[in-house]
Amino acid sequence: MNQIVSEPVEQITHQISGLNISETLSYLANKFPGKVIFSTSFSVEDQVIAHQILSNQIPISIFTLDTGRLFAETYSVWSSTNVKYGTKIKTYYPDRSLLEDYLDSKGPNAFYESIENRKQCCHIRKVEPLKRALDGNAVWVTGLRAEHSPDRKNLQAIEWDEGNKILKYNPLLWWSTTEVRNYIDAHDVPYNVLHDRGFVSIGCAPCTRAIKPGEDFRAGRWWWEDAEKKECGLHVHQS
């Protein structure tokens, strides 16, 4: 645990048993006031959670990581979300000196050249800013779903993230893609139009493509790599 979270995960899991998502979010926000934070990439999953938080006025901070290489469509849904809910989502950017050193030494598209380069780029643009965003908080709310990756089928709704020393709550873990899209439509939630063009997992523009019929959910991310486990380092599961 950390200095903020002292109860075992099992105890907190028991306490939220039977609560729906908005009730669980409210419970966590009351239990850890000012220490619950939600990371959004403006995916359909994240937009469902943002709607739950913002429409119910749950006191949970929302932030995003601007890597500097996002799609124009991602910025559009970010803007639409701010307007619809009257909010201002906080932004974390890569450390300038780290990014400048990487670009000066390896160039702007070095991530295509090796897995090591790609992971270093992800670390600078995503992992390091995330650690700054999570620092000092108790609960990290995410939009992870089991359908997105074989490794994620072993996750729990509430779990301890040892790498970041924080509780992680995955409210949509067992939702299907159909359930997510039905919720977006039913509540008129702004969403990234790239999802209508075959994009499933949307990240940086140079590293994301639409998937083909029958392809795995993660096939559109870092498609030039052969490795089975294609994660950027934001969500590392200790099995």
Q: Which residues are catalytically annotated? A: 232
Residues 6+ apart with CB under 8 A from 21: 49, 52, 171, 172
- Whole-angstrom distance, CA of residue 171 vs CA of residue 142: 7
Pairing of strands 158-161, 61-65: unpaired
- Whole-angstrom distance, CA of residue 164 vs CA of residue 233: 11
Nearest to 178 by CA among 209, 142, 145, 214: 145
- Whole-angstrom distance, CA of residue 65 vs CA of residue 91: 6
Nearest to 221 by CA among 88, 126, 134: 126
Secondary structure string (H, E, C) spanning 143-162 = CCCHHHCHHHHHCCCEEEEC
In degrees and rounded to multiples of 5, residue 169 shows phi and psi of -115, 120
Q: Which helix (H) or strand (E) holds 29?
A: helix 21-31
- Whole-angstrom distance, CA of residue 177 vs CA of residue 101: 40
